[in-house]
Structure 1
Amino acid sequence: MGFTEKEEALVKESWEVLKQNIPQHSLHFFTLILEIVPAAKSMFSYLKDSDEILQNNPKLKAHAVKVFNMTCESAVQLREKGEVVVAENTLKNLGSVHLKSGIIDPHFEVVKEALLRTIKEGVGEKWSEEMGCAWGRAYDQLAAAIKAEMKEEAAQLSSNLS
């Protein structure tokens, strides 16, 4: 079953609220990821050997904004296109980077949890379980597209080694 009109409306409505303060919400998003799995810090080259406070790390801020933006924008496109639309070179790059970083399925679930918590806190009283389900479905589609690229990249790497 495709993304419904109501799901799209819920995502768009909440995205309009979140866009008003993307830097704050995106930083909160990454802070939650690191609270849930502190060891994830080592997966980010610019955090690995840093004792800097997250809020003061310009590379984290830039990365957080980029990730949060792409996740939200791809969710908004889901109904119109019937799938998550990310530029092919961006998707290939995401697959490659995630594979090289050692990202595995449980990591995607942590990101999903942090994303949903960030949205819930960001939209306040507008939050509903239905909104959470809509965002969850949209995120799952994006994660599936990234995982497919990771599998393709892994297959290419192993065929190059043969």
Structure 2
Amino acid sequence: MSFTEKQEALVKESWEILKQNIPENSLRFFGTILEIAPAAKDLFSFLKDSDEIPQNNPKLKAHAVKVFKMTCESAIQLREKGEVVVADTTLKYLGSVHLKKGVIDPHFEVVKEALLRTVKEALGEKWSEEVGGAWGEAYDQLAAAIKAEMKEEAVPAEAS
């Protein structure tokens, strides 16, 4: 299945709406992650020692923006190149960090669910199943690239 021009446009258009209210959407995103999987709190250094999601935590906002933005960029790459191509150093870093934190496949599903719910709430009546499908596919491809790098990273560790 190839990522269509329409899917790319849907992700780009909804990203424009999402980024108009990053603070609120960031809180919604992390709130949803913790609602689905409360134990995930310990995976994020900026949430670890807190009983609640800090309203004005710049690290939380920055992390949420990275996830939203990378998923959007993945959509553009899927359309242009047929695959997600993240800069090697970025992908190595993401693989390494996710591996060290103990991130496993179900964690990626939690983030996807939270991402889709956040996009749906942010878009309101502009949301459609088609928009959700486009964001879902872009996220799945990005997650697959990170997981592949995690496997790469784990091999040398097992060999030593």
Name the TM-score class by shorter chain: over 0.9
For 2:87, the aligned partner's letter is A
Instruction: Map 1:19-98 onto structure 2 (within 5 A).
Output: 19-51=19-51, 53-98=53-98
1:124 equivalent in structure 2: 124
Structure 1, gaps ≥5 residues long: none
Runs of 4+ in 1 over 4 A off after TM superposition: none
Cα distance in structure 2, aligned partners of 1:106 and 1:46: 21
Q: Structure 1 residue 53: deviation in Å? A: 4.0
1:52 shift after superposition: 5.3
Per the alignment, residue 7 of structure 2 pairs with 7
Residues of 1 paired with 2:86 and 2:55: CA distance?
28
User: What SS does the aligned partner of 1:56 have?
Assistant: coil
Letter in 2 for 1:76: I
Aligned residues: 160
Distance 1:33 1:73, change over 3 A: same
Rounded to whole Å, the distance in 2 between the matches of 1:81 and 1:23 is: 32
Higher mean Cα deviation, 134-143 or 69-78?
A: 69-78
CA displacement 1:123-146 (0-9 Å, x = unmatched): 111111111111111110000000
CA contact (8 A) 1:14 1:123 kept: yes
Q: What RMSD in Å do the two structures reach over aligned CA positions?
A: 1.5
Matching residue's letter, 1:141: Q
Measure how far apart 1:88 and its partner are. Answer: 1.0
Q: Is the 8 A contact 1:11 1:135 kept in 2?
A: yes
Aligned ranges 1:121-160 → 2 under 5 Å = 121-159=121-159
Q: Does the CA contact (< 8 Å) of 1:27 and 1:65 recur in 2?
A: no
Structure number with higher helix proportion: 1
Structure 1 residue 153: Cα displacement:
0.3
Aligned AA for 1:146? Answer: I
In 2, Cα distance between the equivalents of 1:143 and 1:105?
9
State the TM-score, normalizing by the size of structure 1: 0.91
What is the rounded CA distance, in whole Å, between the counterparts of 2:51 and 2:115 in structure 1? Answer: 24
What is the CA-CA distance between 1:66 and the residue it aligns to? Answer: 2.2
Percent identity (aligned) = 80
Task: State the shift of 1:56 in Å.
Answer: 3.2
- Does the CA contact (< 8 Å) of 1:25 and 1:118 recur in 2? yes
